[in-house]
């Protein structure tokens, strides 16, 4: 993977956003590979295809590339809230690639893969409607809340200017892939419990440790009145996925 971006592609453009778009997409065309299968490349989507920027020629997985000249911290700005929410509920979201680059050298610094099945209602933030004076008055956008996505599902493709081994990226993707078969509500619960467990910052934890954060899960799932039952159920699911291990007597081990 070459981290130097093809800045020459920006020459015909004056707009900073257009320059960033063509350069980052040009870089992606030459360097991105599929994490879902063994394809060594992704192909640009058809011109004017909304949301999808790249498609895998092997498994036909769809990808959207978001790029900016400073690191993504807590949020990724996305499109309209309503359509994005419906896309999550109907499992139609593409895999998201968040890229940040050095604006002076035009070199990729970080690239994070967010699998489509890691995008849940819990990580969707509704933005304020645009002002009445705005060209698109009343339009409501959304943000992807990175801190509501478990670190397991924020897969580093490039980290601090160092590319990850594609085999490692694909292994981490496959580890989470069972979530792809679940409905958005079920996988939302699984990911929220995993995120909570990660927030404990313990390699060994107890069921009681997780129960102390029941109120946080209740806020994310206000319609469910059996949060503790759900916690136990999701820990079993995480065990089946190989992410946690039962240690007996209400204790668990994180395996990764």
| Tens-place pLDDT, residues 26-71 | 999 999 999 999 999 999 998 767 789 999 999 999 999 999 999 9
* Same domain (yes/no): 97, 141: yes
* Same domain (yes/no): 159, 203: no
- Is residue 229, in this structure, part of any structural domain at all? yes
| Tens-place pLDDT, residues 204-227 | 999 999 999 999 999 999 989 899
Q: Which domain holds residue 217?
A: 185-254
pLDDT at 50 (0 to 100):
75
pLDDT at 136 (0 to 100):
84
Q: Which residue in the block uniquely carries the two structure tokens 């997780």?
A: 210
* Same domain (yes/no): 110, 217: no
- Is residue 141, in this structure, part of any structural domain at all? yes
Task: Over range 104-113, report the average pLDDT.
Answer: 96
pLDDT at 48 (0 to 100):
67
Task: Over range 115-136, report the average pLDDT.
Answer: 91
* Same domain (yes/no): 206, 241: yes
* Same domain (yes/no): 168, 199: no
Task: Over range 151-162, report the average pLDDT.
Answer: 96
Q: Please tell me whether the overall predicted TM-score, pTM, comes out greater than 0.85 for this model.
A: yes
| Residue 255 backbone class (left: φ over 0; alpha: ψ -120 to 50; beta: rest) | alpha
* Same domain (yes/no): 197, 170: no
Domain end (from 176, 210, 244):
176
* Same domain (yes/no): 125, 215: no
- Is residue 247, in this structure, part of any structural domain at all? yes
Q: Return d(Cα 175, Cα 211) in angstroms, integer.
A: 25
Looking from the CA of 238 toward its CB, the CA atoms found within 13 Å total 28
CATH number reported for the structural domain that contains residue 146 in this entry: 3.40.210.30
* Same domain (yes/no): 164, 214: no
* Same domain (yes/no): 11, 97: yes
CATH number reported for the structural domain that contains residue 223 in this entry: 1.10.10.10
β-sheet bridge partners, residue 78: none
- Is residue 118, in this structure, part of any structural domain at all? yes
- Is residue 58, in this structure, part of any structural domain at all? yes
Please provide the average confidence, as pLDDT, over all residues in the chain.
93
Residue 256: alpha-carbon gap to chain centroid: 18
* Same domain (yes/no): 143, 191: no
Domain end (from 119, 151, 176):
176
* Same domain (yes/no): 59, 157: yes
Domain end (from 176, 195, 223):
176
* Same domain (yes/no): 147, 195: no
- Is residue 79, in this structure, part of any structural domain at all? yes
Structure confidence at residue 133 as a pLDDT band (50, 70, 90)? confident
């Amino acid at each position: 993977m070459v981290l130097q971006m093809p800045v020459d592609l920006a020459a015909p453009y004056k707009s900073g956003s257009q320059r960033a778009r063509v350069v980052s997409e040009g870089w992606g065309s030459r360097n991105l590979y599929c994490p879902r299968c063994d394809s060594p490349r992704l192909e640009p989507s058809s011109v004017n295809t909304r949301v999808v920027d790249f498609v895998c020629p092997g498994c036909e997985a769809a990808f959207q590339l978001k790029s900016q000249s400073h690191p993504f911290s807590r949020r990724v700005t996305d499109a309209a809230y309503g359509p994005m929410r419906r896309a999550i509920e109907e499992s139609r979201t593409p895999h998201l690639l968040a890229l940040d680059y050095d604006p002076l050298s035009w070199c990729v610094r970080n690239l994070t893969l967010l699998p489509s099945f890691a995008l849940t209602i819990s990580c969707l933030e509704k933005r304020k409607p645009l002002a009445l004076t705005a060209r698109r008055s009343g339009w409501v956008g959304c943000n992807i809340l990175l801190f509501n996505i478990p670190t397991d599902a924020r897969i580093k493709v490039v980290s601090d200017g160092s590319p990850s081994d594609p085999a490692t990226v694909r292994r981490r993707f496959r580890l989470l892939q069972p979530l792809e078969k679940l409905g958005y509500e079920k996988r939302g619960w699984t990911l929220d419990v995993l995120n909570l467990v990660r927030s404990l910052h313990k390699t060994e934890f107890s069921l009681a440790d997780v129960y102390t954060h029941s109120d946080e899960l209740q806020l994310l799932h206000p319609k469910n009145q059996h949060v503790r039952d759900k916690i136990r159920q999701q820990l079993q699911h995480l065990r089946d996925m190989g992410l946690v291990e039962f240690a007996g007597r209400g204790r668990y081990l994180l395996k990764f």
